[in-house]
Amino acid sequence: MQSAGVSCLINMAYSLAVHGGAGTILRSTMTPELEAAYRKGLDNALNAGTLVLSQGGSAVDAVEAAVASLEDFPLFNAGKGAVFNHIGKHEMDAAIMDGSNLAAGAVSGVGNIKNPVKAAREVMDKSGHVMLVGAGAEAFARECGLEFEDDAYFYIEQRYKQWQDAVAEERVTLDHSEKKFGTVGAAALDSHGNLAAATSTGGMTNKKFGRVGDSPIIGAGTYANNNTCAISCTGHGELFMRSVVAYDISCLMEYKGMKLNEACNLVVHEKLVRIGGEGGLIAVDKFGNVSLPFNSDGMYRAAITSGGLKMTAIYKD
């Protein structure tokens, strides 16, 4: 869907956008109960982030709080409810970026960390590195005192079934016929004029052991820069990595002077489509404008601004 931009107000005190993934999300296959549940998950995340922003808190704290809320919500593919990889494990990825100083932190291929976005935040704040993976990332999260859960916590029957079906059909993840990219993310502008973005995911069902997607890759699935915008992506990670989606949008704004919507629409509806990259993203610019473009059937998305906008949507129309 071409994004016409949700708002064009200048100098708003704060803006927040969240997503719960893009893909084959059709009204015809949704029940009212399930739709209400998804909307509740998005609302919870908006509330968690707004609580931070409305009190003058930082964009980084807001996106961390919003993404942690989405990770705790079992219907989304991140934290509790993360998809199974080919060997029946949850291997999760997350990233966070502070647009005020270009600080960034990410974890990849981690198991049992209750909130991978919190681990990404610790990496950014305390490790002296940008990305930690696997056992090293888990050990670091333990040192930081983060919460761990056993495998049963992450198990959701529906995800297990999706994985079993994929295995039975010997479906390669990348040929996934039922494309649902349930990754979660948030992008925010705070009242101090700082931007931040965060993304968290279980990746793609039946993905190869060790596979990393775009979500934890700074500049691909996650990026924030006070000069331009904050972005969190969802979609077919390999294509988003090859297109360096989030950084490309920032560059189009910084070097070509494009407006947020113009840059987002060019990348999502033209550049990604040209190479078969399905998905979408949420973006907030330094003026508080919000853009929520996607080229799939739907994207779980919501946004709020201190200027009075509040919206939640799922489908194309």
**Reduced DSSP (H G I as helix, E B as strand, rest coil) percent helix, strand, coil of the chain, to 5:** 35, 25, 40
Task: Give the whole-angstrom CA distance, residue 94 versus residue 73.
Answer: 16
Report the nearest approach of ligand ASP to the CB of residue 309 (Å): 24
Q: At what angle do helices 59-72 and 32-53 cross, to 10 degrees?
A: 150
What are the C-alpha distances in Å from 198 to residues 57, 177, 202, 303? 16, 28, 14, 15
Q: Which is nearer to ligand ASP, 144 or 156 (CB)?
A: 156
Residue nearest ligand ASP by beta-carbon distance: 237
Q: Which is nearer to ligand ASP, 3 or 234 (CB)?
A: 234
In terms of C-beta density within 10 A (0-12 exposed, 13-18 middle, 19 or more buried), how is residue 276 classed? exposed
Q: Which is nearer to ligand ASP, 243 or 289 (CB)?
A: 243
Strand locations in the chain (E): 15-23, 92-98, 103-110, 131-133, 180-181, 184-189, 195-201, 222-224, 229-235, 279-285, 290-291, 298-305, 310-315
Report the nearest approach of ligand ASP to the CB of residue 23 (Å): 7
Catalytic-labelled residue, pool 173, 183, 199, 222: 183
Contact between 236 and 181 (Cβ < 8 Å): yes
Report the nearest approach of ligand ASP to the CB of residue 238 (Å): 7
Q: Which is nearer to ligand ASP, 25 or 53 (CB)?
A: 25
Report the nearest approach of ligand ASP to the CB of residue 18 (Å): 14
Task: Kindly provide the b/e burial profile for residues 16-28, where b requires at least 16 CB atoms within 10 angstroms of the residue's own CB.
Answer: bbbbbbbbebeee
Q: Which is nearer to ligand ASP, 39 or 242 (CB)?
A: 242
Report the nearest approach of ligand ASP to the CB of residue 216 (Å): 9
Half-sphere exposure of 56 (CA within 13 A, CB side): 0
Residues at the interface with ligand ASP (CB under 6 A): 21, 77, 181-183, 201, 203-204, 213-215, 221, 234-235, 237
Report the nearest approach of ligand ASP to the CB of residue 59 (Å): 22
Q: Which is nearer to ligand ASP, 194 or 215 (CB)?
A: 215
Give catalytic status of residue 31 as yes or no. Answer: no
Both tokens of residue 155? Answer: 């198990």
The alpha-carbon radius of gyration of the chain (Å, integer) is 17
Q: Could you tell me which of 264, 215, 220, 222 has the C-alpha nearest to residue 242?
A: 220
Enumerate the active-site residues. 183
